[in-house]
Structure 1
Amino acid sequence: MSVAVGILGATGAVGQRLVQLLASHPEFEIETLTASEASAGESYSDAAKWRIESPVPDGVGEMTVTETTPEAVPEDLDLLFSSLPSAVGREVEPAFCEAGHVVSSNSSNHRTAEDVPLTVPEVNGDHLDLIEVQRDERGWDGALVKNPNCSTITMVPPLAALDDAFGLDQVTVATLQAVSGAGYDGVTSMEIIDNAIPHIGGEENKMETESRKLLGEFDGAGVSWHNARVEASCNRIPTLDGHLENVWVETAREATVEAAIDAMESYPSLELHSSPDQLVHVFTDPERPQPRLDRTLEGGMSIAAGGLQETDDGLQFNCLAHNTLRGAAGASLLNGELLLDRGYL
């Protein structure tokens, strides 16, 4: 039996990816699509300027878009996926949770709140049980779960593997991020063609905080953040999809390239529908990974790594993920599958 789901903010770039991924999902069935008040009452085909490479899925284009309010959404929906702008999500998502809905959100608001699970299912799925704390403290029947920023999610699985193998003392990362991470209207062609932009507002702080929460320990009452120091420099480059990152780590114990490759490639995936068979693929070719060649590994849900080298105090490596699949819509979908698997729906 399918689980009835809705998408909050269904007309935006991440919302469209969610529509694409959910249309043929064996466990979830789209029943509600929401957008701004201006789009309410229109068909989805009219409300959404469809930007995905495949057509609008059958049956979805004719659905009527509703307002993004708890009153406009059926009470019996099992799960809501949110791709709302953070300023909107900050106010609206808690209202849905208070009304009894479980929300799996890609929006950046509340990610570091003490009682909100921030999860990458393969890395810290146990943090999902923070929902019990959240419900006790807020009096909600629903729940709010977050996935991390698309740049954070690219480096955290390889870091988790290295942390298990050697321990992490410090992480330094420089990102080369695709334009789709800013949304369709986020970066103009005149800004980015023949150019690179060495700053993405708020991005460095997200990587530096979210990664430590994701790698932290949950003790049943709260999350103790990882004590590694994380420093990030975030840059926008003229690729369409796929965030490439250069990472340097100082390890607590001596690390070798061979042991690091083994740790990354053996890091376990899950048996959720959207989980990749292998979470981290490691290339030995020093020119890989590359966005155009490697962003769609395992349907865009795997992390690609390469360029591993030993340094005086640890390792250097590169990693890559598809930012709107693994990093946004797919991450939110995986959290929804984890919620179903763990009995929270």
Structure 2
Amino acid sequence: MDFDFTDEQRLLRDSVGKLFAARYGDFEMRKAYAKQPDGFDRAVWAEYAEAGLLALPFDEAQGGFGGGPVETMIIMEEIGKAVALEPYLASVVFAGAVLRHGTPGALREEVIAKIAAGEAIVAVAHTERHSRYDLNDITTTARRDGDDFVIEGDKTVVIAGDSADYLIVSARMSGGTRDRDGVGLFLIDAKAEGVSRRGYPMQDALRGAEISLANVRVPAARLIGDLAVLERAVDEAIAALCAEAVGAMEALIAMTVDYMKTRKQFGVAISAFQVLQHRAVDMYVALEQARSMAIFAALSAADDDAKVRGEAIAMAKAAVGKAAKFVGQQAVQLHGGIGVTMEYKAGHLFKRLTMIEMQFGDADYHLRRLAA
């Protein structure tokens, strides 16, 4: 099997790399973006749109370019290297996947077109305080009332939830709290009556939000999917996260090796110490193993067989999560105190890798998923 990129994919990688070099080459720029009200720079988001990155995963009929998981993988690796703050994963990859695989409709197509043009941000509100990683553990309810549904409940840690124009909310229409049947996905205007949001910066400087829905009326036409759609979107988001982790690990290893060449102990650079050389090599081996699994995840993300796709994604997430934890911890150890300072990029890469390892299920969760 040929794993080489096509000419078009290489061109995409080069152009995206240049964009991030211009906007994140100086780490002070990232700090300035994080201080803005949305936690990222809207001008940079507009550049994403102008470069076609926001339209990439969507069909041409929806205003997109028809890119697939491999193209998404290329973009996410560069996002990982830059530790970029824009909600590409949350809005374009995750919410975009829900919309692409959800029930067709004029509103859905309209929202996809807005995402592709950079005119709207969409966040998926699926996690509840008690549910941890179980997508079907839902207490938020959707009660039918004539031609509408009335939604009541709370969602937690909604990535980009405070800057979103639309929310995709999972709610239970019937059945028990943990039943797989009876789950619906509703597209809601984030400023609708009854929706309240409280945003906050997370450990990796991305934004999360607590969202409360109090008697929110949603037309039945805004029911856009079910649990199967959400699970497929999560699988695609995990594949993208694996690629982001590879990019972050690659950048962190490069920083660590450069630091080892300049940091001196006993009058020589610490890169001369064989035991530290071995640790750097172990980090590189972990990176390459993670890269292979990220490619595997990208190639499996489009599989229509939910069982086959789910097993592949779980294997990749477990392996990449383990590698991310190892590389991050080794990098901090080799850097010493500077590795955890707010002024230095390495600590922020480690934070992001830690958050990636936990998002959508940590390594232990996905190993249990495989065992089951």
Q: What is the TM-score when the length of structure 2 is the normalising length?
A: 0.24
Considering fraction of residues, name the structure with more helix.
2
Please give the TM-score of this superposition, normalised by the length of structure 1. Answer: 0.25
- Which one has the largest radius of gyration? 2
